[in-house]
Structure 1
Amino acid sequence: MTKYDGDEAAQVHRHLHSHLPPDPALRVKALESLVVERGMVAVETLDAWVEAYAEKIGPKRGAQVVARAWLDTEYMARLLEDASKAIAEFGFEGHATGDLHALLNTDNDHNMVVCTLCSCYPFSLLGMSPAWYKQSEYRARSVREPRKVLQEFGVDLPESTAIHVWDSTAELRYIVIPQRPVGTDGWTEEQLASIVTRNSMIGTDRDLKVEAE
């Protein structure tokens, strides 16, 4: 049975910051090994958590929110007014969505989110954050040269489209609502949700793909 001790957790935190390797993957592995060794969490618990957020939750919750907004103009209005309250209609509220704002992409505006800390990511909607999202290079360059960064993600915007970069914090998080693709008239909410990508809700993906039938 695992146990939790606040003083030990603080000690582990200090140890990690002074000894963990710089590579994110190695840092995660070191963290996992240490907390398991100290008896603070079971391996089975970690595996279940990873599976839940990678496979079952992932970006699927956020995709459901986007699909509902595309279909229901009243829900879209509620989402843009108070995203935290709107997602509670799905039962998705939680620690990572306490103060959530929805940003709407249009022909003339494109929104892009960066984060100063990993805690700023709305993981209960989007699942685990991608490795590149947590790197300082992405955060810094997105602010300085967002159009160039988007081009590297395959998003080539005309000069007439304004790019808005939003810096989320531990108190304020964002979800981008991408534009609904042409050719999806008559689609169900489930069908629409299936084409919404995690990156489109961060703002590094724009033109969602609609498979030809």
Structure 2
Amino acid sequence: RAIEALLFEKGVLTEPEVQDSISYMETRSPSNGAKLVARAWMDEGFEELLLSDAKAAALQLGIDPEHPAEFIVVKNTSGVHNLIVCTLCSCYPRAILGRPPDWYKSFEYRSRAVREPRAVMREFGFEPPEGVEVLVHDSTADVRYMVLPMRPPGTEDMGEDELAHLVTRDSLVGVNVPS
């Protein structure tokens, strides 16, 4: 609070600016990531953009990724399942997914996700089939990741909003899948 008080005193920040910033960040949630995924499931061209330039794709949907770090979306396939972790701290695409869950920031998750990713996913209720390669991506201050999960079978007749409701924060990090 001492630094904050000094910034107020010097006129660098005002209390309303700080409160506005906090309120704005509290509006960020995994629903932003879910919108990106649902659009990618519905629109092949958008999926290509999301995988090649995730920031541009987010901006196209009115979602401002705002962080200077690179934002990369990795795609799950029938042969590859992706898992996201930050082994050093808790780097997370907050502008897209909101605040990271406590378990994501925990030392246990950060250390085990790299060493035993299948065991970690099993604890979240998901076990990739044998033969599926698990790739672990380490978020850093320079690069933030999000998973593009596979579209669940039987959802061909669903619209974009319905599809977005299937996508969870856990599936965007890769510890589980949409159902």
1:196 counterpart residue number: 167
> Aligned with 1:95: secondary structure?
coil
- Structure 1, unaligned stretches of length 5 or more? 10-34
> Aligned with 1:96: secondary structure?
coil
Higher relative contact order (CA 8 A, sep 6+): 2
2-side partners of 1:85 and 1:47: how far apart? 25
- Structure 2, unaligned stretches of length 5 or more? none
Identical residues among aligned pairs (%): 39
1:185 counterpart residue number: 156
TM superposition shift of 1:200: 0.5
1:18 counterpart residue number: none
Aligned length: 173
After superposition, what is the alpha-carbon deviation per residue over 1:8-32, rounded to whole angstroms, capped at 9, x for unaligned?
A: 52xxxxxxxxxxxxxxxxxxxxxxx
2-side partners of 1:176 and 1:96: how far apart? 18
2-side partners of 1:155 and 1:190: how far apart? 24
> Aligned with 1:170: secondary structure?
coil
The alignment status of 1:49 with 2:22, answered yes or no, reads yes
CA contact (8 A) 1:114 1:165 kept: yes
TM superposition shift of 1:193: 0.8
Between structures 1 and 2, the one with greater helix share = 1
CA contact (8 A) 2:80 2:133 kept: yes
1:147 counterpart residue number: 118
TM superposition shift of 1:94: 3.3
1:10-89 map, 5 Å: 49=22, 53=25, 56-89=27-60
> Which residue of the other structure, out of 64, 77, 83, is the alignment partner of 1:112?
83
Cα–Cα, structure 1 residues 131 and 47, in superposed 2: closer, same or farther, change >3 Å? farther
Q: Which moved more, 1:61-70 or 1:83-92?
A: 83-92
TM superposition shift of 1:87: 1.3
TM-score computed with the length of structure 2 as normaliser: 0.85
CA contact (8 A) 2:125 2:176 kept: yes
TM-score computed with the length of structure 1 as normaliser: 0.72
